[in-house]
Structure 1
Amino acid sequence: MDPNVPHRSSPRWRPTSRLLVWAAILLGSGVANAVVEVMDAQRRGEVLALWEPMTWELSSAGMILLTLPLLWWGCQRWPLHADTWKRRLPLYLLASVGWSLLHVAGMMLLRHLAYASVGEHYVDGSAWPTRLLYEYLKDVRAFFSFVALEHFFSWFGRRRQGEAHLLAAPDDAPPEEPVERPQRFLVRKLGRDFLVATADIEYAQAAGNYMNLHVRGHEYPLRSTMAALEAQLDPARFVRIHRSYVLNLGFLVSIEPLDSGEARAHLKDGGTLPCSRRQLPVLRAALGQGPAPAEPAATPTAT
Structure 2
Amino acid sequence: MADASPAPGAYERYLPYRRWVEWGYWICTALASMVGNALTVGMEMRRAGLPHHPAEPWIWEGSSNLVFLALVPAVAWFTRRYPLHLDTWRRRLPAYLLASVAFSALHVVAMVGLRMAIYASAGDSYDFGHWGRQFAYEYLKDVRSFAGMVLLMEAYRFLLRRLQGEASLLAAPDDDAPPVEPIDRPERFLVRKLGREFLVAAADIEWLQASGNYVNLRVRGRDYPLRSTISALESRLDPARFQRVHRSHIVNLDQVASIEPLDTGDARIHLRDGSTLPCSRRYRAALRERTA
TM over 0.5: yes
CA distance in 1, matches of 2:36, 2:234: 53
Pairwise CA distance, 1:196: 0.5
**1:30 maps to 2:24:** no
Pairwise CA distance, 1:45: 4.9
Q: Which amino acid aligns with 2:169?
A: L
Q: Normalising by structure 1, what TM-score?
A: 0.85
Q: What's 2:140 paired with?
A: 137
Pairwise CA distance, 1:15: 5.4
Whether the 8 Å CA contact 1:71–1:147 is kept in 2: the answer is: yes
**1:283 maps to 2:274:** no
Unaligned residue ranges in structure 2 (runs of 5+): 1-11
**1:120 maps to 2:124:** yes
**1:200 maps to 2:204:** yes
CA distance in 1, matches of 2:215, 2:23: 25
Q: Runs in 1 of length 4+ with deviation above 6 angstroms?
A: none
CA distance in 2, matches of 1:186, 1:129: 53
Report matched runs for 1:136-285 at 5 Å: 136-170=139-173, 171-285=175-289
Pairwise CA distance, 1:32: 2.6
Q: Secondary structure at the match of 2:38?
A: helix
Whether the 8 Å CA contact 1:19–1:65 is kept in 2: the answer is: no
Pairwise CA distance, 1:110: 0.9
CA distance in 1, matches of 2:144, 2:188: 43
CA distance in 2, matches of 1:255, 1:120: 65
CA distance in 2, matches of 1:286, 1:157: 36
CA offset digits 1:28-74 (Å, max 9, x no partner): 22023223333334444566444322211121111112211111111
Q: What's 1:74 paired with?
A: 78
Change (3 A) 1:272 1:16: farther
Pairwise CA distance, 1:269: 3.1
Pairwise CA distance, 1:90: 1.1
Pairwise CA distance, 1:13: 7.3
Q: Secondary structure at the match of 2:217?
A: strand
Change (3 A) 1:117 1:259: farther
Q: Which amino acid aligns with 1:192?
A: R
Pairwise CA distance, 1:172: 4.6
Whether the 8 Å CA contact 1:163–1:221 is kept in 2: the answer is: yes
CA offset digits 1:135-186 (Å, max 9, x no partner): 0000010111111111111222222212112222332521111122222111
CA distance in 2, matches of 1:266, 1:52: 59
Q: What's 1:293 paired with?
A: none
Q: Secondary structure at the match of 1:180?
A: coil
Pairwise CA distance, 1:245: 0.6
The answer to which structure, 1 or 2, has the higher relative contact order (CA under 8 A, 6+ apart) is 1
Q: Which amino acid aligns with 1:262?
A: D
Paired positions, count: 280
Pairwise CA distance, 1:230: 1.0
Which structure features the higher share of helix residues?
2
Change (3 A) 1:10 1:205: farther
Q: Which amino acid aligns with 1:35?
A: L
CA distance in 2, matches of 1:52, 1:262: 57
**1:63 maps to 2:67:** yes
Q: 2:104 aligns with which of 75, 100, 105?
A: 100
CA distance in 2, matches of 1:235, 1:261: 24
Q: Which amino acid aligns with 1:155?
A: F
CA distance in 1, matches of 2:272, 2:60: 54
Unaligned residue ranges in structure 1 (runs of 5+): 1-7, 289-303
